[in-house]
Structure 1
């Protein structure tokens, strides 16, 4: 085999459709655009979502609810099992959690949830603690100061 013998696979190269080049080409006269109408005319055509004057779908559907994105509080979730990274008798607040790398995202508040087990006696100085987390912390001999 030589370089000049290399050819693309059969069907890989397709000739472009030459429009308006006579009747015998099969793409003559109306140039594949049919007879009259908005889509047969020159220019941009219709915009996406246009339904021919009918009320568009995005306006027919009911508007429901609202988005409170700019005013909502962003919570960072910390599970009880991740508090085992601290030594016995440690005081846990936002600064301590950030120092250990448990919380690193920018957030408005931190909430401790009760997933996992706790084997250390800790003092928690975080306001938001779930009921199951509170029970596990107190069961391990810890306390919640907030």
Structure 2
């Protein structure tokens, strides 16, 4: 086979429809747009218009909002940390921080911090310095002899 022998399979490439090219083409004159009206003109895109029926975005109620100050955390399971320690990528004697997890390749890039989750088991005695952790994850780490240091949260009463 040569490069000049390469062809698409029959029917794989469809010729584009050339509209408005004379009455004999079958798509001449109005070009498949019908007669008159807004939709027959060029540059018209009536987004969400449903022919006079109340559009769905107005029929449905508005709910909730997006918190623009919400923090986005990386989630890491205790099993993932244990796997990295077993592979020799993470030092169990050192404090496990966001920087250490990025360096070990456990997470790709640091967001607003790491939240430790309890999926799997951990056997190594590890000290974590993370932004958040589930109760079950803290229990598992402490059961293995480690500890979890979380940032102090200022109460709303102050």
TM category (shorter chain) comes to 0.5 to 0.7
Query: How many residues get paired?
Result: 131
Q: CA deviation at 1:27?
A: 8.7
| In 2: Cα distance, 1:48 partner to 1:26 partner | 26
Q: CA deviation at 1:80?
A: 0.4
109, 112, 115: which one aligns with 2:113: 109
| In 2: Cα distance, 1:27 partner to 1:60 partner | 38
- RMSD (CA atoms): 3.8
Going from structure 1 to structure 2, the CA distance change for 1:87 and 1:112 (only over 3 Å counts) comes to same
Match of 1:134 in 2: 138
| In 2: Cα distance, 1:81 partner to 1:56 partner | 48
State TM-score, norm by structure 1: 0.63
8 Å contact from structure 1 (residues 89, 120) kept in 2: no
8 Å contact from structure 2 (residues 118, 137) kept in 1: yes
Going from structure 1 to structure 2, the CA distance change for 1:135 and 1:65 (only over 3 Å counts) comes to same
Superposed, 1:25-104 pairs within 5 Å as 38=37, 43-44=41-42, 47-49=45-47, 50-68=49-67, 70-84=68-82, 85=85, 86-104=90-108
- Residue deviations 1:53-94, cap 9 Å, x none? 5544433433332222x3221100111012221344332122
Larger-Rg structure: 1
8 Å contact from structure 1 (residues 124, 143) kept in 2: yes
8 Å contact from structure 1 (residues 121, 137) kept in 2: yes
8 Å contact from structure 1 (residues 87, 120) kept in 2: no
